Each structure stands twice: as C-alpha cells, then as structure tokens.
Structure 1
Amino acid sequence: MSRGESPSPSPPPPPPPPPRREMELELELEMERERMDDDERPERAEPLSDAERDVVRDTWQRVYESCEDVGVSVLIRFFVNFPSAKQYFSQFQDMDDPEEMERSSQLRHHARRVMNAINTVVENLHDPEKVSSVLSLVGKAHAIKHKVEPMYFKILSGVMLEVLSEDFPEYFTAEVQLVWTKLMGAIYWHVTGAYTEVGWAQVSSSAV
C-alpha cells in the first residue's frame, strides 16, 4: 500500500455458525420427515408390563404434586435449548430470558396443559384404547391446527426426562428412567400415528 492511501475496509465478519444443538435438530427434523414419508413406523408401540406401569404411576405421583413448577422448568429448558420451538407460540416467540419465561402466565398455562395430558395418559395406562384416543386428539390438533413438526414431541420428551431425573434423583434412578423412556416412546408412537393418519406430508407442505 502506497503512502497516503487509505487502508481497504475490512470485510465484514462471517455470521456466527448456528448453535450445535440447533444444527443437530435440523438434521433430526429432516430425518424424521423422511422416516414418516417412507412409512417406516413400527407396527405397534412396545407395551409396558404391569410392573413398569406401577413404576410410572408411583414416580409420576411424586412429580405431579408440583406439576406446574415442573412443567414450567421443562418448557423453559425446551425453549432455551431449542429456540426454534418458540415459532409455534406467539406468546413466547420474543422471550429469551428464562426469568421472563418463568413469570409468563401463558407459559405456565401451557405447562399445566402438558402435565395434565401426561397425567391423563398415566391414569389410563390400564386402558390402551383410552390412551390411544387421547394421544390421537393431541397429535391431530398439533398437526392440523398448530402445524408443529412431530419431531418436537420427541425432543420435548427427552428434555422432560432430563428435568425429572435432575429434580427427582431419588425416584428417577437409571432403571426408572429406562421405563419412562419406554413410555415416552409409546406416546411418540401414538402421536406420530395421528400425524400419519391426517396426511402430515400434505399438511406440512401446504403450510410453507
């Protein structure tokens, strides 16, 4: 550079890469879309044994005593770790501060709905048809009305198990977590069945 010349402006810095978990989520969402398109869904959910149902009921009873606070903790971690999930909630879209989320009456209301839905499942584990009916309604509402990617149900299940194992370590031992993982897998199976039933691929593409 000759004397007197102005230095060339530096190129703008490249945008930061998306958070790793968000990148992983996008890959998982795409794989889930392909899986549903390829109709690779298992024939049936793996049923819980009588002993496993007793484990679920016993541990859930401890959790449900503080259902709203637990539900709020789950949703806050869900939205903080996977902020793209907030796109489906106009009330929470602009909330980034966990403390603000915790004070939100709308978030608390949704937390109660999530926990009450799981409570209905747990209370009716002896009645598979009732469980199927309840989760079918949940799945269809989220597919048709809210147009939520079904993969978010699996992610929310994982977040919930994380929170429960941390907040109730004396009850959610490794063995109990395996039983709950099995239950969450069954819930996801029923929900995705409802998505398939209403033709999720068509609903999803028409919403773009």
Structure 2
Amino acid sequence: MERMQGEGEVDHLERPSPLTDKDKVNIQDSWAKVYQNCDDVGVAILIRLFVSYPSSKQYFSKFKNMTELEELEKSAQLRNHARRVMNSINTLVENLENPDKLASVLKLLGKAHALRHKVEPVYFKFLSGVILEVLAEEYSDVMTAEVAGAWTKLLATIYTSITTTYKEVGWTTLSSSTG
C-alpha cells in the first residue's frame, strides 16, 4: 500500500520560501557530510522510495522487476542511477548562489523526466519526502530542525521548478496522487 499525503496536510512543497544565506550554509555544510557517502545514501534513498511508493519502480526498466531488497541493493543499474541522483543534488547544492545555473539544471531535469521518461511529477514530491526521511535518519547529528527546514525549502524549490517545466512542455496531468 502506498503512502499518500494526508487530508488537510499543509503541502510545503507547493509554496516554497526563498533560501536565506543561513539556509544555504546549513544545506552546504550538511551536504558535505552526506556526499562523502553518496553511493550508499543514494541507494538508501531509491530503495526507500520503492518501498514507500512501489509504483515508482515502473519508471525504471532495468530494475522495475526486482522484488528482493537485497537484489536491488546489489544492482549496478540502481547504484548508477543513485549516483546520478546524488550528483544532480550535488550540482544544485554547489550552485545555491547561482540562480541561473539552478534554473538551467532543473529545467533539464524536468524536461528529461517529462518528455523522455514520462514520470508523473508527483513522484518528485514523494522523492523529496524520502530524501528528508533518509537524511534525518542517517545524519541525525547534522539534521537539526533548522537544517531540515533549509532542506525542505530547497526541495520545495526543486519540486516547484520541475513542475513548472512540466507545464511548459505541455504535461497535462499535474495530479497530486497516483490513483
């Protein structure tokens, strides 16, 4: 059973707040620790996404039929995709002071996922929540409430930018659920 956003839950991803200078420092400092283990963290994030939202596997032809967690964890294809996800996040974190670069990277990501991969945009919302969960669990010493708040703002900005790109390329179903 997939998790769904609760009724009446405030959707912080739909209305991002701008990042403050302190937010940017918090994100970059915490990311420096996370990125040291980027392969393992990326795999943990993708596996959590697949466990929490099993329908998300449909977009991954190379490992969508893998049902065992151990098989997924050992999959070279999953590890490669996890590294791409982490490298994309790293590019965004490195360029927090460069809004043009951020916009460019997010537009490319949005176009690729809308046009080539045909991923429903709601999965970016799911992924954002999973990223926050995994970082909070794996890096509880770093992910204070203030740092988590900064990450929430960044992930909201990413989600909003990607869904804006989806609309620009003519994506017609910006649903908030999968069913």
- TM (norm. structure 2) is 0.89
Partner of residue 117, structure 2? 146
In angstroms, what is the RMSD of aligned CA positions? 2.1
* 1:130 paired residue number: 101
Instruction: Please list the CA deviations of residues 128-185 of structure 1 after superposition, one character each: whole Å capped at 9, or x if unmatched.
Output: 1110110000000100001100010010010011001000100001221111111100
For residue 71 of structure 2, the aligned residue among 81, 100, 104 is: 100
Residue 5 (structure 1) aligns with: none
1:127/1:106 CA distance change after superposition, 3 Å: same
Q: Deviations over 1:11-43 (max 9, x none)?
A: xxxxxxxx252xx37x99xxxxxxxxxxxx76x
Amino acid at match of 1:170: D
TM superposition outliers: structure 1 runs of 4+ over 6 Å: none
1:183 aligned partner: 154
Distance verdict in 2 for CA 1:67–1:20, change over 3 Å: closer
**Does the aligned pair in 1 maintain the 2:2–2:54 contact within 8 Å?**
no
Gaps of 5+ in 1: 1-18, 29-40
* Cα drift, residue 109 of structure 1: 0.2
Return 5+ residue gaps in structure 2 as ranges.
Answer: 8-13
Given candidates 168, 171, 182, the residue that maps to 2:139 is 168
Question: How high is the sequence identity, in percent, across the aligned residues?
Answer: 56
Which structure carries more relative contact order (alpha carbon 8 Å, separation 6+)?
2
Report if the CA contact (8 A) 1:67-1:115 is conserved. Answer: yes
Partner residue in 2 for 1:35: none
Q: How many residues align?
A: 170
Give the Cα–Cα distance (whole angstroms) in 1 for the partners of residues 144 and 93 of structure 2. Answer: 19
Answer yes or no: is the 8 Å Cα contact 2:2–2:53 preserved in 1: no
SS of equivalent residue, structure 1 residue 200: coil
Q: Which residue of 2 aligns with 1:14?
A: none
Q: Which whole-Å CA distance do the structure 1 matches of 2:2 and 2:58 have between them?
A: 19
